[in-house]
Amino acid sequence: MSMNNQGRPTSAGAGGVAGMATISGDRGLDHEEPLIFELGHGAVGVDFPDIKVSDDRLGGLRRKDRIGLPGLSEPEVVRHYVRLSRMNYAIDSGLYPLGSCTMKHNPRLNEKIARLPGFGDLHPLAPRSVTQGALELISQLMNWLTTLTGMPAVAMSPKAGAHGELCGLLAIRAAIAARGETRKRILVPESAHGTNPATAAFAGFTVDEVPAKPNGHVDAQALKAKLAPDVAAIMLTNPNTCGLFEGEVKEIADAVHAAGAYFYCDGANFNAIAGKVRPGDLGVDAMHINLHKTFSTPHGGGGPGAGPVVLSERLAPFAPIPLLVADGKGLRLIEDVQAAPEGAKPFGRMCAFHGQMGMFVRALTYMISHGRDGVRQASEDAVLSANYILASLKDVMSAPFGDGPCMHEALFDDSFLEGTGVTTLDFAKAMIDEGYHPMTMYFPLVVHGAMLIEPTESESKASLDRFIHVLHTLATEARAKQTERFAGAPHLAPRRRLDETAAARKPVLRYKPAVSIKEAAE
Amino acid sequence: MRYLPLTPDDRRAMLARIGAADMDALFRDVPKAALAPLSAFDLPDTQGEMEVERALSKLAARNVAAGAAPFFCGAGAYKHHVPSAVDHLIQRSEFLTSYTPYQPEIAQGTLQYLFEFQSQVALLTGMEVANASLYDGSTATAEAVLMAQRITKRGKAILSGGLHPHYSETVETVAGLFGPIVRGAVTPGSTEDLAALIDEETACVVVQSPDVFGLIRNLRPVADAAHAKGALLIAVVTEVVSLGLLEPPGAQGADIVAAEGQSIGNGLNFGGPYVGLFATREKFLRQMPGRLCGETVDAEGRRGYVLTLSTREQHIRREKATSNICTNSGLCTLAFTIHLSLLGEVGLTRLARINHAKASALADRLSALPGVEIVTPAFFNEFTVKLPKPAAPLVEALAAKGVIAGVPASRLLPRDKSVESLLILAATETNSDEDFAALASALKEAL
């Protein structure tokens, strides 16, 4: 071991300290962190006076028992959550290639604008005269969304993609009812996101699966053969979850319309075509837009999202309240179904208030920053980067549809791992040891052991090259049956593989001081 | 464009590696007619950070923030002081820019706070289990009704007339597909006879407390009436700070609690994003919608957390899932959890008392005004007053004078003439005596 001039060792040394047990249980920057409940000791992190209140106006319902919340000071709470944060992977710290999830850069300007008091501290039921700027922002965002999609209308209130799907299907349901018809069946390709069939069932429809062709595209012939007077709609993702553009989309739409049904497009992958292709030109009747994917509102560890739904001329009248309209005094929300303007027949209400305003502000900030040229360039760069990965890895990883170009994500299956003993899961977990978040695994269901890689437009070429080098090497080693690093991976993360079976068999879903994890596991 | 790292040289080199002549070659599956030129989009081009900030700040400045005026709006969204640490912590990259924790080995931060969140929600509501959040209180209420319909295999849902009308409309839109939704009478300041509406077809009764007019309701009699007919009681809470002072729904016989968690940790945001709290009895666990985080151990026996019981969820069960929900309110749950951790038992209790004291002081003050009648006898931090004239125009008139006086009941029940002169007001720890004086004097003048 050599020393530098401060006397500090310059290498880890050969003493086998890597597996060394530490006194604290922490390991350098890796801290073990108890639950907040285990840290509480009766301190208080806020300064409020201790006042008494009478029972006179409490209806005899004053709380009798303690709640059971722990008490900590501010520095303790801050340290606790900072330490927790360090156990997370994030797009800000590395490439996050989750296919279909679109982990792109989240500009901080968007956060700043969303926190301006005029947006962040504005009450949803504040008087109309003091909310005109907010309504104008929503109006501008609606203009961007309808212009980019080539659709005439948009419903803003859905709170996430799946909520948008529900909104779209309820509009379709209402449109069918308005024609005096009943149609119960919805066609969903087998490659669809799980939310599609779940939403169809949630909206009271039955689900009929449409197979994929061996080339990864939906089987348009099979789809057309299923069209009948009881079919309400198809739900098609385009680009689809194999990362391919459904080139027959217009013919499919025409056939669907000829059968009296509607075309719902899952817009999860709109980020591949924004600024280049308008879904309205493809015969789409309804499509949700995940603002947290395409327009980069932060995923936040699983939300909040926002899922506005663009609607065709045929479905626009059925959009849910609230509706945004202009009159002589500026913008105004219509919040009552029966107060809807002439011709509008809102199907109801998706949620309280007017939708995910905080996400609207971020998304509009993103759009104005990019401009139409930037949005288009972002789509192109996302597609270019995915194809670069596909082209660079398909010699060692099996790309079932790799003969042609992909859109914004590259799909591989596990046939390159055949006979190696390494599974898709092992391969993905080995990526964690290399400092990467794994790709989407085992989805879509149409290929075996799927690995779906979406780099987004946010990576530099150097970053992509480094990622490709790591995956190429992993694949090469696996195929050569050098499988040590795969067995039981990850080895270097804050946790090794977690026992999900035990978690589900005897669920421990909250802190309970009396029950230890050991007893719970037994 | 400042967010795009690829240079023109990079793009050329990458196309060469791919073996594509140009970008069009990558979009070859798109029908030619469907490729729109840039000019087809009537939208502006790229702008720098400074220009964007300038334009959007102008829009923000056209609104009056709650903190910029004497302010009394509630009715499902509440102005509270959120400690500075909350917003700083939730903006840490590792929280803000991470995905749903599907890879638990590198998402223990998210998973552990979800576990803490679930624990806090269960404790606050007095229930046995809570999920990792839904979108907001209204959608949580709709999910609760759907869950009750599944559990009881009955269709009918009875909604109290004191349930926030937006919540009622959301339930009607979503759960109305699976059974009749019956609304109880609207009785500001008192309770309607819900027991009379419950029959053998009833899946659930939905009661909000404090209700939309601020009234604290005793849930026990409704719970007993519902249970006697085999129906469930769904308790709704739109102001969770009230649980620091009031008996939790779990202690009053609720089977499911659906609540809006915005008050703790989250700003008003003109209505969203908020955070839906959802808690129930352990025996109903497998019918619960939404994500759940559970404790387990890793391969070395160390405690860790994972998403669990996902066989209820859409990505596994597809059309047989308990809900179609995928994304939840991740970052808003974190804000909730951090704020509640800062408050702790003592802080939340004190905060709740202060809220009640403020509202009581405001009620005393307003009841001294001629023609103003307090409609709500028992309340937490929100109550309803009857005015001698319609409330909606009055609220706009006061806004013009710089006082945001509250929510006219007619905004929520536009077709109910009987509520035309009712004004719903909330007072929280953020209101000062000066605010009260400003409101009282402006009201007096306007009446």
Residue A515 confidence (pLDDT) above 50: no
Overall pTM > 0.90:
yes
Q: Walk along chain B (447 residues) in steps of 10 and give the mean pLDDT of each run.
A: 98 98 96 96 98 98 97 98 98 97 97 98 98 98 97 98 98 96 97 97 98 98 98 98 98 98 98 98 96 97 95 81 85 98 98 98 97 98 98 97 97 97 98 98 94
pLDDT of residue B390: 98
Using the beta-carbon criterion (under 8 Å), do B45 and A170 form an inter-chain contact? no
Q: Are strands B129-130 and B276-280 parallel, antiparallel or unpaired?
A: antiparallel
Q: Are strands B276-280 and B256-260 parallel, antiparallel or unpaired?
A: antiparallel
3.40.50.2300, 1.10.3720.10, 3.40.50.740, 3.90.1150.10: which CATH number matches B70-82+345-446? 3.90.1150.10
CA distance B112 to chain A (A): 7
Using the beta-carbon criterion (under 8 Å), do A384 and B306 form an inter-chain contact? no
Residue A353 confidence (pLDDT) above 70: yes
Read out DSSP for A312-370?
Answer: -TTTGGGPPBPEEEEETTEEEEE--GGG--TT-----BSSSTTS-HHHHHHHHHHHHHH
pLDDT of residue B157: 98
C-beta separation of A454 from A374 below 8 A: no
Using the beta-carbon criterion (under 8 Å), do A72 and B292 form an inter-chain contact? no
| Least reliable range by pLDDT among A8-22, A151-165, A474-488, B401-415 | A8-22
Query: What's the pLDDT band for A324 if we cut at 50, 70, 90?
Result: very high
3.40.640.10, 3.30.420.10, 1.50.10.10, 3.40.50.11540: which CATH number matches B84-338? 3.40.640.10
Per residue in A268-302, pLDDT (tens digit) is: 999 999 999 999 999 999 999 999 999 999 999 99
Average pLDDT along chain A: 94
Q: Provide the Cα torsion B138, B143, B148, B151; round to 10°.
A: -170
Task: Please report the beta strands in A200-274, taking only residues with DSSP state E, as ranges in sequence order.
Answer: 206-210, 231-237, 262-266
The percentage of chain A sitting over the pLDDT mark of 70, rounded to a whole number, equals 95
Which tokens in the block code for residue B384? 């309803």
pLDDT of residue A17: 58
List the domains of chain A with CATH numbers. 111-365 (3.40.640.10), 372-500 (3.90.1150.10)
Distance CA A407, CA A454 (A): 9
CA distance B202 to chain A (A): 20
Query: What's the pLDDT band for A18 if we cut at 50, 70, 90?
Result: low
Q: Which residues of B touch A46 (CB under 8 A)?
A: 83, 342-343, 347, 350-351
Per residue in A81-107, pLDDT (tens digit) is: 999 999 999 999 999 999 999 999 999
Query: What's the pLDDT band for A516 if we cut at 50, 70, 90?
Result: very low
Picking from B217, B264, B284, B214, the residue whose alpha carbon sits closest to that of residue A69 is B264
| CB interface of A with B, residues 445-504, below 8 Å | 457-461, 463, 488, 490, 493-500, 502-504
Tell me if chain B has a CB within 8 Å of the CB of A96. Answer: yes
pLDDT of residue B313: 80
Using the beta-carbon criterion (under 8 Å), do A277 and B293 form an inter-chain contact? no
Which tokens in the block code for residue B176? 């109305």
pLDDT of residue A54: 95
Q: Which residues of A touch B5 (CB under 8 A)?
A: 458-461, 463
The percentage of chain A sitting over the pLDDT mark of 90, rounded to a whole number, equals 91
Instruction: Tell me the average pLDDT across A135-140.
Output: 98
pLDDT of residue A513: 75
Instruction: Tell me the average pLDDT across A321-329.
Output: 95
Per residue in B51-66, pLDDT (tens digit) is: 999 999 999 999 999 9
Instruction: Tell me the average pLDDT across A173-198.
Output: 94
Residue A9 confidence (pLDDT) above 80: no
Query: What's the pLDDT band for A3 if we cut at 50, 70, 90?
Result: very low
Distance CA B299, CA A494 (A): 12
**Three-state SS sequence of chain B:** CCCCCCCHHHHHHHHHHHCCCCHHHHCCCCCHHHECCHHHCCCCCCCCHHHHHHHHHHHHHCCCCHHHCCECCCCCCCCCCCCHHHHHHHCCHHHHCCCCCCCHHHEHHHHHHHHHHHHHHHHHHCCCEECCCECCHHHHHHHHHHHHHHHHCCCEEEECCCCCHHHHHHHHHHHHHHCCEEECCCCCCCCCCCHHHCCCCEEEEEEECCCCCCECCCCHHHHHHHHHCCCEEEEEECCHHHHHCECCHHHHCCCEEEEECCCCCCCCHHHCCCCEEEEECHHHHHHCCCCCEEEEEECCCCEEEEECCHHHCHHHHHHHCCCCCCCCCHHHHHHHHHHHHHHHHHHHHHHHHHHHHHHHHHHHHHHCCCCCEECCCCECCEEEEECCCCHHHHHHHHHHCCCECCEEHHHHCCCCHHHCCEEEEECCCCCCHHHHHHHHHHHHHHC
What would you measure as the largest C-alpha separation in chain B, in angstroms?
82
Among A80, A115, A156, A202, the strongest candidate for a mutation testing the B interface, having the largest count of B CBs within 10 A, is A202
Measured CA to CA in angstroms, residue B124 lies from A40, A176, A350, B16, B174 at distances of 16, 44, 27, 60, 27
Q: Where are the domains of chain B?
A: 70-82+345-446, 84-338
Per residue in A31-67, pLDDT (tens digit) is: 999 999 999 999 999 999 999 999 999 999 999 999 9
